[in-house]
Amino acid sequence: MLGAARSDRGPTPVVHQDDPSLSTLLLNGPFTAALRAAITASGLSLDRVCHRLRQRGHPVSVATLSYWQSGRSRPERRESMAALSDLEEILAIPSNALHKLLGPPRPRGRRNQRIEPNTIALWQHDARVVELLTGVDIDSDMQLDRVSQHDRYLFGARGEFRRVAVRQVLRARADGPDRIVTVFDGEISGTTAPTLYPGRNCKLGRHASASSRSGLVVAELVLPRPLSRGETAVLEYQLIGDPAGLGLITAECSRRFRAPIREYLLEIDFHQASLPSEIHRVGTAIDGSADRRRPPVLDDTHGVHTVELDVGPGTAGLAWRWPTSPPGTRPASAD
């Protein structure tokens, strides 16, 4: 959006006339969409918005601002409402424009204390991911349950990531969801981000990477049509690593789940020239109990797998040691 630079203090409140959708949202809501549109129109990143709020004495984190945008939480406490007033000024929108969209406080009590973690909550400690997630539609994803998930990884002769093939079975919990959000994080800088190829029953929607050398991909996968409540869908896609073989070298593959999933199957195929040792399961159990199963072992085709039932919210996966650890080894995470 074109416009003159403005000070962090004392801007003239305006409704951006070149963005009629923002004007409509500020008038009619909902709060989450109006906040997202106002931040987008301001041209500021979430980091910059939070920085300006901190300068005014409001320690609002990127994750908190993202929760407000997604609807996972909302400003209700006195400190949050004070921050919202300065936020309206920072975003150069009319005073009280966001306040009036909140409506009455939500009821509190035991039944309202359990909030299901969402995709942003899984990555709240990684500002890069949280920032990229604001550019995609997580609201639709929140209305889709994962019934089953199958990830199959392939590693090359140097222990480098070559590809992962993903198959998901989804069920709609309401009418209308038409896309999911996928995140792949190699968790190492200087690594070429893999390329996402949609397959069965999906096409690529909005997508972003922190940089071409971040190893990080955030993307929407759009279904052929919106689903009805209770309807299921099967989709498949792949992430392909750097064809020059200069990509991620890792010693862990795991997936993050924002909600319980009935079945998670993880398969990893290793190259015979680079076989791991001491393979073990990793993740967070719901009840915190120890995993007493036998450790996974390589089969005759240099592959290993694990099956997790009724897992999540949390993480699940496999980790291993290389006989001689490749340099720069880091975990690879997805959700």
126-151 pLDDT, tens digit each: 677 777 777 787 888 888 999 999 99
Q: Is the pLDDT assigned to residue 203 strictly greater than 50? A: yes
Give the model's pLDDT for residue 105.
58
Residues 249 and 153 sit within 8 Å (Cβ to Cβ): no
Give the model's pLDDT for residue 25.
81
Give the model's pLDDT for residue 289.
47
Q: Which residue has the tokens 């005073």?
A: 95
As a whole number, mean pLDDT of residues 289-311 equals: 83
Sign of the alpha-carbon torsion through 27, 32, 36, 42: positive
Q: Which residues pair with 100 in a beta bridge?
A: none
CA gap 234, 182 in Å, rounded: 15
Give the model's pLDDT for residue 292.
60
3-class SS at 294? coil
Give the model's pLDDT for residue 7.
34
In the chain, domain spans: 20-113, 136-334
* Residue 295: cis peptide before it, omega within 30 degrees of 0: no
- In what helix (H) or strand (E) does residue 165 lie, and over which residues does it extend? strand 161-172
CA gap 86, 93 in Å, rounded: 10
pLDDT digits (tens, 9 = 90+) for 73-127: 778 888 888 888 999 999 998 888 888 888 655 545 443 333 455 666 666 666 7
CA gap 146, 318 in Å, rounded: 20
Average per-residue pLDDT for the chain: 78
Q: Which CATH number fits domain 136-334: 3.40.50.2000, 3.40.50.1010, 2.60.120.10, 2.60.40.3140?
A: 2.60.40.3140
As a whole number, mean pLDDT of residues 254-263 equals: 87
Q: Which residues pair with 111 in a beta bridge?
A: none
Which runs of E-coded beta strand occur in 223-313? 232-240, 250-257, 261-269, 277-283, 303-311
- Name the phi and psi angles at 34, rounded to 5: -65, -40
